[in-house]
Structures are given as C-alpha cells and as structure tokens.
Amino acid sequence: MDVFLQTIVAGVLKGGLYALIGIGMTLIMGVMGIINLAHGQLMMLAMYVTFVLNTMGVDPYIALFVAMPLLFLLGVAIQKYLLNPLIKADTILPENQVLMTVGIGMVLTEIVRFIFTSDYKSVTTGYSDRTFFLGNISFSVALTIAFVIALAFTGVMFWFLLKTDLGRSIRATAQDKDAATLMGVNTGRITVITFGLGAGLVAAAGALLAPVYYVFPDLGGPFTAKAFIITILGGLGSTVGAIFGGVTLGLAESLGATYFGMEYEDIVGLTIFILVLLFLPGGFKRLTKV
C-alpha cells in the first residue's frame, strides 16, 4: 500500500509540472490552431537559462523570474517574425506553420548544443535531493515546491483568462477568430501575446524542473512529445483539460515505472495517447465540456 501511495504522490507532483507545460501548449493550440512542435525546445532553453544563472549562484526559483520574461520575449519574436508572415503566404500546404516550429526547434537545440556541447549538466541546489516525510510517504522538497508554484501559476493563469480584458480577448480569438476581429479585437496582436505566454509558462516549468532533472540539448524532443500527449489527453485548446492531462500523464508514467519497469515509462504515455485518440477523441474536454 505504501508503494502504491508513494507512486501516486510522485505522479501527482510530476503531473503539476506537466500541467504547466500542457497549458502553454494548449493556449497556443487554441488561439492559433497550430501545434507548437518547438515547445519542449523552449523549455530546454529555459532550463539552460536557469543553469547559467545557477553557475553564477542564483537560486533556480529566482532564475525562474528571469527565464520567464526572456522566453516570453523570444516567443513574441518567433510569432511575430517567423509564424505570422506565413499566414499571408500563398501556399498549398496549410501545415507550413507546424513545419516552421519544427525548424525553430531544430535551430534552438543545435544552437544550445553549439554553445554548451551535448554533455549532461545538472543544476545543483541544497534541496535537490532532500526529502521530507508525511507518514511513510516521502516527498521530494524540490518537486513539492515546484508543484506548489505550478499550482499558483495555473491559478493566476485562470484568473487572467477569465477576468482580465486581455484574457477575454484571447478566449474570444480562440473561439472564433473572425468574430473576434469584428468585435474589435486585434487578433494579430493576440496571437503574438499568446505565443509569448505559452513560451513563458513552459519556461516556468523548465526552471522548476531544472533542479530535479538533467539539462541537455536533446531534452526538447521528448518534452514536446509529452506536451503534445497532455494536450491530446485534455482536449485541444482546453485549459482545464491540460491540467487533467498533465496529472494523468504524470500518474500513468509513475505507475508504469513502478509496476512494469523503468523502460516502459515512455511507452505508457504513448499507449494512453493512442487509446484516448481511439476511444475518446477530443480528450477529457468531451467529458467535462469545459
């Protein structure tokens, strides 16, 4: 029983971070209708920002507030100068924007590899491997802090989307771009801001993950895949769904790792992904209607 509870706790803690990754992806998906295949690479970049600051003696949780604005600006630049021009281009394939994000991901990975080489780096802090106990269940300090911060960010994000003017404009654009334009929303600007927000959120996830994970250039790809699985699980464009999806993936991975073996950790995610596509296309959004 303890093993089971421990697995659940580890899964939920990891799921909090995954939710943060997924919300960024789902926002971009909802507003632009494209899948950002550079999402994990953006996170990788944030982890390197954290790593560099950490070598200068800055705590990862403070580096978080440097990485987020930086990645926000990068996201804004990507959307403004690389993705938005493609909307006007007259071309056969509508997937050009998705391919562009693939290219951007490649460039980011390789630039980082160029500067830092492929070596595994780690962000070491005093609390990286410290744990505390609640009964018989151990909690990783770093993951617990990350979970709490992730929850806080998710809450702020919800407040932003539901209550502020800008948030309402974003939701309007996601629901119907043309109608939003007619209502006086500058949809071009909204897409730029949304991509920035998505990048900023995934940057937060990266900075929170850095103390408990290795940092290396190729980590982008697997996390892009995870972000994508989370979004599919939750339903594309649904923020509540992304949280569900994140926690589900976290739980599934840690259950798989405990009961099947470590090498099945990735397979479990993919299997769930395919099962959801087959039996619940539309994801949890279909069940909750949010």
Partner 1 sequence: MPRAVKRNFLPLVFLGVVLAMPLVMRDDYYLHLMILFLMWVVIGSAWNLIAGYTGQVSFGDAAFFGCGAYTAGLLSHHLGISPWWGLALGGFVAAAVGLPFGWICFRMRGAYFALATLALNEVLRQGATIAENFTGGMVGILIMPSFTSKMPYYYIALAMAVASIASLRWVVHSKPGYYFVSIREDQDAAESLGINTHLYKMLSLAYAAFWTGIAGALYMNYMGFIDPHVVFSLHDISIMAILVGIVGGVGTVYGPAVGAFLMVTVQEMFRSGFFGLFQWLGAVSGSESLAKVAVVLTQAHVLGFGILVVVVILVLPNGIVGDWPKIRKRVFRLDAGN
Please, are residues 224 and 105 in contact by the beta-carbon 8 Å criterion?
A: yes
Q: Does 119 bind partner 1 (CB under 8 A)?
A: no
d(CA 11, CA 196): 28
Q: Does 106 bind partner 1 (CB under 8 A)?
A: yes
For the CA atoms of 146, 193, 101, 96, the dihedral, rounded to the nearest 10 degrees, stands at: 150
What are residue 232's phi and psi, to 5 degrees?
-65, -45
Secondary structure element (H or E) that encloses residue 223, with its range: helix 220-234
Contact window for partner 1 (CB under 8 A) among 48-56, 58-66, 103-111, 165-173: 103-111
Which among 127, 28, 120 is positioned nearest to 78, based on CA atoms? 28
Q: What is the CA radius of gyration of the chain?
A: 19
**Minimum CB distance to partner 1, residue 94 (Å):** 7
Residue 261 one-letter amino acid: G
Q: Pick the closer one to partner 1 by CB: 5 or 111.
A: 111
Total length of the chain: 290
- From 1, 56, 57, 90, residue interacting with partner 1 (rule: CB under 8 A): 90
Q: Does 280 bind partner 1 (CB under 8 A)?
A: no
CA of residue 168 relative to chain centroid, distance: 22
- From 94, 131, 164, 275, residue interacting with partner 1 (rule: CB under 8 A): 94
Q: Does 103 bind partner 1 (CB under 8 A)?
A: yes
- From 69, 85, 126, 155, residue interacting with partner 1 (rule: CB under 8 A): 85
Q: Pick the closer one to partner 1 by CB: 160 or 264.
A: 264
Q: Does 91 bind partner 1 (CB under 8 A)?
A: yes
**Minimum CB distance to partner 1, residue 134 (Å):** 35
Residue 119 one-letter amino acid: D
Binders of partner 1 among residues 145 to 204 (CB under 8 A) are: none
d(CA 279, CA 290): 19
Question: Within 10 A of 77 (CB to CB), how many other CB atoms are there?
Answer: 14
Q: Does 274 bind partner 1 (CB under 8 A)?
A: yes
Q: Pick the closer one to partner 1 by CB: 148 or 277.
A: 277
- From 59, 77, 80, 96, residue interacting with partner 1 (rule: CB under 8 A): 96
What are residue 2's phi and psi, to 5 degrees?
-60, -40
Contact window for partner 1 (CB under 8 A) among 100-108, 149-157, 174-182, 245-253: 100-108
Q: Pick the closer one to partner 1 by CB: 39 or 64.
A: 39
Contacts of 259 (CB under 8 A, 6+ apart): 7
CA atoms within 13 A on the CB side of 33: 11
Q: Does 59 bind partner 1 (CB under 8 A)?
A: no
Q: Does 107 bind partner 1 (CB under 8 A)?
A: yes
Positions that interact with partner 1 (CB under 8 A): 34-35, 82, 85-86, 89-96, 98-100, 102-107, 109-111, 114, 221, 225, 228, 232, 263, 266-267, 270, 273-274, 277-278, 281
